[in-house]
Amino acid sequence: MLLRLSIPANPDDAGIWLSDRGASVRLALNLLPFAGIAFLWFIGVLRDRMGELEDRFFATVFLGSGILFLAMLFAAAAIAGGILMSYGALGEALVESGVYTFARSVAYETVSVYAMKMAGVFMISTCTLAIRIAIFPRWMAYLGFVLAVVMLVGSGVVYWVPLVFPLWSLVISVYVLAANLRTEVA
């Protein structure tokens, strides 16, 4: 959310965000590895919930798309961090160069198109597994399918679509946490 608020939607926009919102972007980039760790735990919790009923085909797609999503997110963050560091050394000369435009476009495409498509695939495979082995309710799985289609079609087109993925992950996480607490109490 912090990155979406700090960096302009259009990658062709001038680099004013580098000086005006550089501290916000740095903070977001420093928090991102912790979000990645939390996402890996999310994958682990879901796999644990699947247990012996795990379907190898869908579990492979589930795990592969989750790891690819995270790798692309980290790569784009590293590029954004490189842009910030370069701006610190070169100032406005960086913004006027083709290097800035290229790096900014690569980071934008990596997150907004490729990482979000992998997030959509992750959602589809997770929801398919949920329907097959009941790791969470069917209505959540159907909602996940709808949101995954939004991600697959809308990422790279609608600027705020990528926020669908963390919100969906939050809904699933809250359900799993509540279900685990109910099991422990009973």
Kindly provide the b/e burial profile for residues 1-37, where b requires at least 16 CB atoms within 10 angstroms of the residue's own CB.
eebeebbeeeeeeebebbeebbeebeebbeebeeebe
Share of the chain above pLDDT 90, in %: 47
Averaged pLDDT, 25-43: 92
For residue range 81-90, list pLDDT tens digits in order. Answer: 898 888 888 8
Helices in the chain by DSSP H: which ranges?
A: 2-6, 16-20, 22-50, 56-90, 92-96, 98-109, 116-133, 138-154, 164-185
User: Which pLDDT does position 41 carry in this prediction?
Assistant: 95
For residue range 47-102, list pLDDT tens digits in order. Answer: 888 888 877 788 889 999 999 999 999 999 999 889 888 888 887 888 788 888 88
- Say what the pTM is: 0.86
Q: Kindly state the tokens that stand for 4.
A: 């979406």
For residue range 157-168, list pLDDT tens digits in order. Answer: 777 888 899 999
User: Which pLDDT does position 166 carry in this prediction?
Assistant: 92
Averaged pLDDT, 167-182: 92
* Rounded CA separation 149/144 (Å): 9
Task: Give me the chain's average pLDDT, please.
Answer: 86
Domain count, the chain: 1
Dihedral angle computed from the Cα positions of residues 18, 21, 27 and 31, in that order, rounded to the nearest 10 degrees: -90
User: What residue numbers bound the domain in which 161 lies?
Assistant: 2-185
